[in-house]
Structure 1
Amino acid sequence: MQNITLDTITQAVIDHGDRGKSHPRLYEIYTSLVRHLHEFVREVNLTEAELQQGRDFLNQASHHTQEIPIGEIHLLTDLLGISELVELLHDTHRGTEGNLEGPLYVPNAPERQMGDRLGIDAEGDTLFLSGRVLDLDGQPIANAVMDVWQPNSKGAYDIQGPSQPQGNFRGRFTTDASGKYTFETVVPLGYKVPDSGPSGELLRLLGRHPWRAAHIHFKVSAPKYTPLTSQIFITGDPHLDSDTTFSVRSAIIQLQKHEASDEKAHNQSKPFYTSEFDFVLRPITPAEDHQAMAKQYDYTTK
């Protein structure tokens, strides 16, 4: 194509190719993305130097580090509110609210028995967390698998440094016949997202803080039910109203404090906490069942 101008370049980019014949959904996303990106460039009158800064930023964000082993692209979509926006767009408002997986999930967590301690942290305040996994009618779901992960009492995940053993504060539990789960852990501390890289520099330049409110992550699944990824937050955390990933919604638990002499002490030598939270799963729809069985989108082949 010749004689490209300001008026023709956007459509030329969109029309280059088979215009969605191979992959209609990809073309739909691509077309909208190109239009918005080109409009953004026009709106801010982007300079060559600023474009290069953007390239450098994305290149740096893709690098793997000890702080965030998969790189910062996932973190960046969280910080821009994109990840939570996608959750909100597709939340059915039935059952427990979905929420961000985050960039620090690790598959194949250790299998743990009901009541087990999730991790080792001698300085942390013990928390006994329990509840049930239920269907929309309030009936228990037996043998639901719960994949749990959280930071320790200092706000650190096991993969962020050598101070914790691998798999610390990660575990997979299975609910009993009454849908109940229970495990021992520590009260997690809110923490700063990894901020030594380009995402942290962006936050500083914008005057934004990097703090996340204290939370525990869950993936809950059972046959014939839609898998749930969610987070529960701790009431009283100072960043509940300003979590840097914009992901605090209504799943907030109240901790009840107990003295070591309490009958619920479970052999504790210092004060500890208890709390309960029930997860509600919705049945899988025929469309979701079909999608789960079908091959996921593959934009690399026809």
Structure 2
Amino acid sequence: MQNITLDTITQAVINHGDRGKSHPRLYEIYTSLVPHLHDFVREVNLTESELQQGRSFLNQASHHTQEIPTGEIHLLTDLLGISELVELLQDAHRGTESNLEGPLYVPNAPERQMGDRLGIDAEGDALLLSGRVFNLNGQPIANAVIDVWQPNSKGLYDIQDPSQPLGNFRGRFKTNESGKYRFETVVPIGYKVPASGPSGELLRLLGRHPWRAAHIHFKVSAPEYTSLTTQIFIAGDPHLDSDTTFAVRSAIVELQKHEALGELKVRNQSKPFYTTEFDFVLKSAPLSSREL
């Protein structure tokens, strides 16, 4: 009979099963995770009541709410820096930097045309955003799909805010033959991550603020290229140096304000507006992942 003790339990857990014959990669992760978890339990001398608190926290984090319909597990990995760490590990430092997706992405966004407005928000300041998509050799990529999503001028995404139509400030655009894209949106503001649930309570107990720096999300894809998920951030935001998901890196854009009557007329704007540009660079997909 196996004698389980403080000294033997970790190896007993690792040895239980077929030791990676069924799923080698899963076993590789498992045999690293278990010792780290057991070492953590030993290091802090975790009590039974604290373990139960942890279970309750994870159970609550899995519940769907109006603030975050998919539950808070994704948000939790963002707040712990795990999501961004994975991005940093996988980023090859060639092409545009990747960045975390966040918990509020919705697939199958509305298809929009070049120059279309991304969403409805009468109170927001208009932002005309444009740029191009290139490969590593500087050649433009035509028909690249740019999937965009962002909050409105109050910092709310459509799926959090019943007053917005679904699909508001979401859209998929295609680049033209010169790799260009262009659309109109509103200037995003920084916002607090959902804080009414267990993740918000954790931030409060740790004395951490819940603010995200103002940003716009993108997924950029094209045949024979590795898809890119990233964010661009707005220069001047007060939380660029302390974003609660640790996601701010080098993709920061300056906004140019336009107030002249002639510019307002040419751009069909009724009040001052902003412009900025951002180019994306995609890496070629490995040959093994391309369709033959």
Contact between 1:260 and 1:268, CA under 8 Å: does it hold in 2? no
Unpaired runs of 5+ residues, structure 2, are: none
RMSD: 1.2
**Corresponding residue for residue 60 of structure 2:** 60
**Corresponding residue for residue 22 of structure 1:** 22
Report the 3-state secondary structure (helix = DSSP H, G, I; strand = E; otherwise coil) of the residue aligned with 2:31: helix
Q: Kindly provide the CA deviation profile for residues 76-106 of structure 1, in whole angstroms up to 9, marking residues without a partner as x.
A: 0000000000000010111000001100000
Q: 1:116 to 1:220 in 2, by over 3 A?
A: same
Q: Kindly provide the CA deviation profile for residues 243-281 of structure 1, in whole angstroms up to 9, marking residues without a partner as x.
A: 000000000000000015143651111110000000000
2 CA distance for matches of 1:163 and 1:243?
Answer: 27
1 CA distance for matches of 2:262 and 2:41?
Answer: 63
- Superposition pairs of residues 100-179 of structure 1, within 5 angstroms: 100-179=100-179
2 CA distance for matches of 1:55 and 1:34?
Answer: 17
Q: State the AA in 1 paired with 2:273.
A: F
**Corresponding residue for residue 276 of structure 1:** 277
2 CA distance for matches of 1:252 and 1:161?
Answer: 27
* Deviation at residue 287 of structure 1 after TM alignment: 4.1
Q: Kindly provide the CA deviation profile for residues 212-246 of structure 1, in whole angstroms up to 9, marking residues without a partner as x.
A: 00000000000010000000000000000000000
* Deviation at residue 138 of structure 1 after TM alignment: 1.1
Q: State the AA in 2 paired with 1:12.
A: A
**Corresponding residue for residue 82 of structure 2:** 82
Report the 3-state secondary structure (helix = DSSP H, G, I; strand = E; otherwise coil) of the residue aligned with 1:263: helix
Structure 1 length-normalised TM: 0.94
Report the 3-state secondary structure (helix = DSSP H, G, I; strand = E; otherwise coil) of the residue aligned with 1:46: coil
2 CA distance for matches of 1:288 and 1:72?
Answer: 32
Structure 2 length-normalised TM: 0.98
- Superposition pairs of residues 114-263 of structure 1, within 5 angstroms: 114-263=114-263
* Deviation at residue 191 of structure 1 after TM alignment: 0.5
Return structure 1 stretches of 4+ with deviation > 3 angstroms: 287-290
* Deviation at residue 286 of structure 1 after TM alignment: 2.3
2 CA distance for matches of 1:84 and 1:289?
Answer: 27
1 CA distance for matches of 2:260 and 2:55?
Answer: 56
Q: Kindly provide the CA deviation profile for residues 135-154 of structure 1, in whole angstroms up to 9, marking residues without a partner as x.
A: 11111100000000000111
Q: Kindly provide the CA deviation profile for residues 269-301 of structure 1, in whole angstroms up to 9, marking residues without a partner as x.
A: 1110000000000111124448xx9xxxxxxxx
Contact between 1:260 and 1:270, CA under 8 Å: does it hold in 2? no
Q: 1:288 to 1:88 in 2, by over 3 A?
A: farther
**Corresponding residue for residue 96 of structure 2:** 96
2 CA distance for matches of 1:287 and 1:91?
Answer: 19
- Superposition pairs of residues 32-51 of structure 1, within 5 angstroms: 32-51=32-51
2 CA distance for matches of 1:160 and 1:79?
Answer: 19
* Deviation at residue 73 of structure 1 after TM alignment: 0.3
Q: State the AA in 1 paired with 2:68.
A: I
2 CA distance for matches of 1:260 and 1:80?
Answer: 45
Q: State the AA in 2 paired with 1:279.
A: F
**Corresponding residue for residue 300 of structure 1:** none
Report the 3-state secondary structure (helix = DSSP H, G, I; strand = E; otherwise coil) of the residue aligned with 2:263: coil
Count the aligned residue pairs: 291
Contact between 1:127 and 1:186, CA under 8 Å: does it hold in 2? yes
2 CA distance for matches of 1:55 and 1:43?
Answer: 19
2 CA distance for matches of 1:267 and 1:107?
Answer: 31
Q: State the AA in 2 paired with 1:48.
A: E
Report the 3-state secondary structure (helix = DSSP H, G, I; strand = E; otherwise coil) of the residue aligned with 2:261: coil
Report the 3-state secondary structure (helix = DSSP H, G, I; strand = E; otherwise coil) of the residue aligned with 2:269: coil
2 CA distance for matches of 1:92 and 1:147?
Answer: 22
